[in-house]
Amino acid sequence: MDFKGKAKVFARTYGFLCQVLPYANAEWEKLSIFLNFLIPKLPAPVEEDLAKGILEAIDMDSYRLEKEAAAKIQLPDQDAEIEPVPTTGGGHKPEPELDKLSNILKAFNDHFGNIPWSDSDRVHTLITQDIPNRVAADVAYQNAKKNSDKQNARIEHDKALTRVMTAVLQDDTELFKQFMDNESFRRWMADMVFGLTYGGAGGAGLPG
């Protein structure tokens, strides 16, 4: 467990230093990426079960529900009129569930526009087109959409997104670092890509 603790300290410290120092040490970067994948797989320390024996210590039979009061709802004793069904107006086409690309880019800029991206246009293309398309094409994710519920599909989606982002590392280290180190960015990215790709059992549901 000593190794896991030290690995977490290194990952946190290096993540902070990357925000304030220029990127210069490739070996540290590789080690940070490796540890970020390794740490979740390391066993957790065995902790004492503080709840053990609590049920035996409480006499549940001595507790019972009691009816405190009963309230009766009454309508006023007076004549009332029911308004007629309106004959004007009508239904309207609901807003599409998926945000348009312009709305996605606006949300991205509102939340993460302060990050000094070296090529913001390329990042925009990756997050709105390339990455969602790659995730939508993931076979395991497609099977989960067709044969399982939304919760399990989301689990497979997050796995597929991690695989895609690992591949993106070869082309865009900057975006990958934000995904790995910036929790709010990772959460926004996952929600956004899932919203774009989870559109029924068939297609990916990407906006045109």
3-state secondary structure 16-51: HHHHHCCCCCHHHHHHHHHHHHHHHHCCCCCCCCCC
> What is the dihedral sign for C-alpha 138, 140, 143, 147?
negative
40: tokens are 């979740």
Is the domain of 199 the same as that of 104?
A: yes
> 188 Cβ partners below 8 Å, 6+ apart?
107, 108, 111, 112
Residue 83 lies in a domain: no
Amino acid at 39: I
User: Whole-angstrom Cα distance, residue 139 to residue 143?
Assistant: 6
Q: So what's the pLDDT on residue 124?
A: 87
Residue 68 lies in a domain: no
Is the domain of 36 the same as that of 129?
A: no
Is the domain of 8 the same as that of 104?
A: no
Is the domain of 110 the same as that of 207?
A: yes
- For every one of its 208 residues, what pLDDT tens digit does the chain have, with 9 covering 90 and above? 677 778 777 777 767 666 666 655 677 777 878 878 877 777 776 655 555 665 555 555 555 555 555 555 566 666 666 666 555 544 444 444 444 678 888 888 888 888 888 888 888 888 888 999 999 999 999 999 999 899 999 999 999 999 998 888 777 888 888 888 999 999 999 999 998 898 744 444 444 4
Alpha-carbon distance values, 187 to 74, 141, 193 (Å):
49, 18, 10
User: Whole-angstrom Cα distance, residue 102 to residue 76?
Assistant: 52
Listing DSSP states for 137-176 in one string gives T-HHHHHHHHHS-HHHHHHHHHHHHHHHHHHHTTT-HHHH
Residue 56 lies in a domain: no
Residue 39 lies in a domain: yes
Q: Tell me how many domains the chain contains.
A: 2
Is the domain of 37 the same as that of 116?
A: no
Residue 116 lies in a domain: yes
Residue 55 lies in a domain: no
Q: So what's the pLDDT on residue 205?
A: 42
3-state helix, strand, coil in the chain (%, to 5): 60, 0, 40
Is the domain of 35 the same as that of 102?
A: no
Q: So what's the pLDDT on residue 86?
A: 53
**pLDDT tens per residue, range 20-71:** 666 556 777 778 788 788 777 777 766 555 556 655 555 555 555 555 555 5
Residue 80 lies in a domain: no
User: Whole-angstrom Cα distance, residue 208 to residue 196?
Assistant: 11
Residue 79 lies in a domain: no
Domain that holds residue 9: 1-43
Entry pTM: 0.49
User: Whole-angstrom Cα distance, residue 35 to residue 8?
Assistant: 8
Q: So what's the pLDDT on residue 139?
A: 93
